[in-house]
Amino acid sequence: MKYRIEGEPFPVVTCDLEAGEQLITESGGMSWMTPNMKMETVSGGAGKAIGRLFSGESLFQNRYTAEGGAGSISFASSFPGAIRAVRITPDKPIIVQKRAFLACETGVTLSVYFQRKIGAGIFGGEGFIMQELSGDGIAFLEIDGHAVEFELAAGEQKILATGYLAMMDATCSMDIVSVPGAKNKLLGGEGFFNTSVKGPGKVIVQSMPTIKLANALGVNQGS
């Protein structure tokens, strides 16, 4: 498979497949394709389907196969931002926010990921349930706004505001930290908690989480 990503801040990834190659996407994820791309709706089993439902995705996925020769298929982002191609290997799964998954090669498995610490999921703003991508292949992720990457050393931390975590290597861990001081909590506008991500591993943060945009539009509409 060859691919190209273009068009930020309204990006699209176009994948050129050889005959017989396949891609998986969520229901409704395809934007345009050549006529020889065959679609098949699959669930991957009841357990995986229910797991996707818990993580905010559709019960079903669509599998596209290039039949009779080379084919092309494109997936457009549903939100202004970026698309990132991430290489998944058996020893390097990743954890992503809900709704970040766009498409992947068939060697990649999408499953539900539960935060080990309940407090991190409830108060950290990233959600108690996230998604884990494992296996072997390339996955395409949607990032809200601009994507900024950090490579954290073992024990190194990054403090994030609510909703800014887009992806982290499974070797990273996530927890919550309280905003210090009652005045800061009540008047600082940052809420009571932030998210702490600890290395080792890669972290991708996003500059415009959907919740931030929704709040900004609400303020503008009310002014």
For 53-104, the pLDDT digits (tens) are 555 556 688 999 999 999 999 999 988 999 999 999 999 999 998 889 999 9
d(CA 69, CA 20): 8
d(CA 176, CA 102): 27
pLDDT (average), residues 211-217? 64
For residue 38, the Cα-to-chain-centroid distance in whole angstroms is 25
127: left (phi over 0), alpha (psi -120 to 50) or beta: left
DSSP-derived secondary structure letter, 217: H
> Does residue 194 have a pLDDT over 80?
yes
d(CA 24, CA 133): 13
Phi, psi of 217 (to 5 degrees): -65, -35
DSSP-derived secondary structure letter, 11: -
* Cβ proximity of 73 and 33 under 8 Å: yes
d(CA 44, CA 2): 25
Over residues 107-164, the pLDDT tens digits come to 999 888 876 554 544 554 455 578 999 999 999 999 999 999 999 999 999 999 888 9
Q: Which domains does the chain have, with CATH numbers?
A: 2-218 (3.60.160.10)
